[in-house]
Structure 1
Amino acid sequence: MPKINTYLNFDGKSEEAFNFYKSVFGGEFLMISRMSDMPGAEELADNEKNRLMHISLPIGKDDVLMASDIVPSMGHTLKIGNYSYISVFTENREEADRLFAGLSEGGTIEMALEDTFWGDYFGSFQDKYGINWMINYPQQPD
């Protein structure tokens, strides 16, 4: 079975966003590399050399959240939109509450974390970096 990891793009905010995500999820970065590390970096604008080429943070035991910054001088553009969500499934309500509170801080709540008609504890929001998240605790019937 293939493994799916979420990969995000930012406009110079990858490091800031991932330090925030690390503060919520914990763990250590698997890799951080900067645009200045790549061949031809001397051709980049000075304000682009410190941007991240790649960063990765393990989330739980099987998933890795990854990202990079766009490089405008190479023709990259970033469009923030509602075309994707990162869906996090927790092992209990307390973990759902903690992650929802931490990740939604400074963002916009779309649906408050609550018991839903389909039986799960669920909420969704856009974080302060424009990334859409869903937090879900799939409760078992008594």
Structure 2
Amino acid sequence: MATINVYLNFNGNCKEVFEFYKEIFHGEFIDLNYYKEMPQMENMPPLPEEFSEKIMHVSLKVGENSILMGSDVIPGMSDPLQVGNNFSISVNCNSKDEADSYFNALSQGGKVVMPLGETFWGAYFGMLNDKFGISWMFNVPLK
């Protein structure tokens, strides 16, 4: 069965926010990746230099079963961030078939932001906004 966590987006202060949450929840970072680690992707403009040290992805383990995740939003690479719409529901699936099933059902009447596919960080991953405007992310670790 899949697990569901919250994914938060920020306008450049993700590291500061997650250091704060780490201290409050006495958690530990599972992942901490910067945009400078991301390879240049086809059909995408080069990453602005000022974003190289911004957070591409962070995972903070909170308690036994919860993970709080986040990233900094790069203007032009996604919808503009507004406080109130700066979160996604992240679903970690056990198989590609499970991810495909949920993804295909939730995308009906919605908008696929990033189709499910294998990524450079070793996951089968995709993003969508459902017909109610809720942002979803699906992840299957391939490692």
TM-score normalized by the length of structure 1: 0.53
Greater Cα shift, 50-59 or 38-47? 38-47
The answer for the alignment partner of 1:108 in structure 2 is none
Structure 2 residue matching 1:30: 3-state secondary structure? strand
Q: Which amino acid aligns with 2:52?
A: K
- Alignment: residue pair count: 84
More helix by share: 1
Is residue 83 of structure 2 the alignment partner of residue 80 of structure 1?
A: yes
State the shift of 1:72 in Å.
1.0
Compare CA radii of gyration and give the structure with the larger one.
1
Higher relative contact order, structure no. (Cα contacts within 8 Å, ≥ 6 residues apart): 2
Q: Distance in 2 between matches of 1:5 and 1:78?
A: 20
The answer for the alignment partner of 1:59 in structure 2 is 62
Runs of 4+ in 1 over 2 A off after TM superposition: 73-76
Q: How high is the sequence identity, in percent, across the aligned residues?
A: 40
State the shift of 1:80 in Å.
0.5
Output the aligned Cα RMSD: 2.3
State the shift of 1:2 in Å.
2.6
Structure 1 residue matching 2:24: 3-state secondary structure? helix
The answer for the alignment partner of 2:21 in structure 1 is 21
Is residue 39 of structure 2 the alignment partner of residue 36 of structure 1?
A: no
Gaps of 5+ in 1: 85-142
Structure 1 residue matching 2:15: 3-state secondary structure? helix
Gaps of 5+ in 2: 88-143
State the shift of 1:27 in Å.
2.2
